Amino acid sequence: MIGRVLCNKASLSFYKFMLPRYRLFLFVFLVFLIQISACSTVSKQTKPIVWPKPPAEPRVIYELTLRNQSSLSVKQNEERLREIATGISSSDVQSLLKPYDVAAFGGLVVVSDSLMSSVHVFDVPRKKLFQMGWRGQGKLRKPLGVAIDSSQNIYVADAGLGRVVKFDKRGHFISFIGEQGDLSRISDVAVDDINNKIYVLDRGGVESVDHQVLVYSIAGVRLGTIGKRGHKPGYFNHPNQLAVNSHGELFVLDAGNFRVQIFNSKGEYVRSWGKLGNQLGNLARPRGIALDAESNVYVTDGAYQNFQIFNSHGQLLLNIGSGGGQDLPGNFLLPAGIAIDETNRIYVVDQIRRKVDVLRLLQQ
């Protein structure tokens, strides 16, 4: 009995002796892992992800991926220690459930989420993420296309409501654009700040002839209609997205006709380009469209799992991205909406991987 007591006291003394040393060892080991991780990060930063691949001159560089609040934060040592110790990363917390479209201007990145029935707003300068349209007046049902004007007002094309909902930059409801019954299948919205117009896309249905673009004043007064269902120039077949350039020209992604059509500010047909094909430079499953300051056209394609960059007359300039098994920058499974802001940053939605990759055009 006495031997057992002495043995237990010896074990307790040994435990008390080793515990602080074990904690010190664990702390030193974790610090060592952080340093290794930091060195790895620096190593990765010395090899930026660019397109086209070397030895060609890079024209586009990857910057970051947006998924949740942590996407806007610089990880501190304490957070990195916790991730190493637990194996749980803050980036595993998912905010985007089924992102569809994206718009960006003035540090705001707006992402529609048709499954959450709301819109995510990444406020980059404030490093904040908030949701809008999930309650109150202007409550969203099935948000699809989004746009943002030069005053940072946000426009949401809602398929459930059948019209556009306008919010301010903090997510407060302003007004509705259009009347219920104006559109059969609303899918996108674009704003022409130069001519104070709002374009709303009605992609129609299988039996419908209302494959068209409705034109409204900035105050929401209906001004006219562009196009109807068909295959001739100026006609549409299941169009799905819109974009407006700095000259007030309207670009329509006419997905069912596998082409891009361009109209002037009066709604008159100008030209079109594109065709169905299984080679780069063709369109197979076009899903999103955006324009840069030089009116180059960016088109995401679900079949190619990438986006292609064309000049305004349809000449292929560059293709970026691929499929692939790993969730890496520029690897897309189902690319959808795409946007370009005034700083030449490109935002690409991947619906399956539930992310927005952010790339930047390099100055030539």
Per-chain mean pLDDT for the chain: 87
List phi, psi (to 5°) of 20: -60, -35
- How confident is the model over 15-32, as a mean pLDDT? 53
Distance between CA atoms of 330 and 8, rounded to whole angstroms? Answer: 60
Closest-CA residue to 171 (of 152, 187, 186): 152
- Terminal-residue alpha carbon distance, the chain: 85
Return the pLDDT at 182: 87
Summarize pLDDT for 323-357 with one digit per residue, the tens: 877 899 999 999 999 999 999 999 999 999 999 99
Q: What is the pLDDT of residues 304-332, one digit of tens each?
A: 999 999 999 999 999 999 887 789 999 99
pLDDT band at 13 (very low <50, low <70, confident <90, very high): low
Q: At what angle do helices 77-86 and 2-45 cross, to 10 degrees?
A: 120
Range 177-185 average pLDDT? 88
Q: Are 319 and 280 in contact (CB under 8 A)?
A: yes
Query: Residue with structure tokens 């946007």?
Result: 339
- Tens of pLDDT along 123-167? 999 999 999 999 999 999 999 999 999 999 999 999 999 999 999
Assess contact for 138 and 167: CB atoms under 8 A: yes
What's the mean pLDDT in 26-33?
52
Assign 210 to helix, strand or coil.
coil
Higher pLDDT, 17 or 265: 265
Structure tokens of 54? Answer: 């070397």
Residue 344 C-beta-side C-alpha neighbours within 13 Å: 12
Looking at residues 200-224, what average pLDDT do you find? 93
Q: How far apart are CA 201 and CA 179, in angstroms?
A: 14
Which tokens sit at 44?
Answer: 């990765």
Instruction: Determine the pLDDT at residue 22.
Output: 52
Q: How far apart are CA 185 and CA 162, in angstroms?
A: 7
- Give the three-state DSSP class for 113: strand
Strands 108-113, 128-132: pairing is unpaired
Residues 6 or more apart whose Cβ sits within 8 Å of residue 301: 283, 284, 285, 286, 287, 307, 308, 335
Q: Which of 277, 278, 241, 247 is nearest to 260 (CA)?
A: 241
Which range has the worst mean pLDDT, 45-54, 105-114, 118-127, 274-283? 45-54
Q: How far apart are CA 96 and CA 73, in angstroms?
A: 17
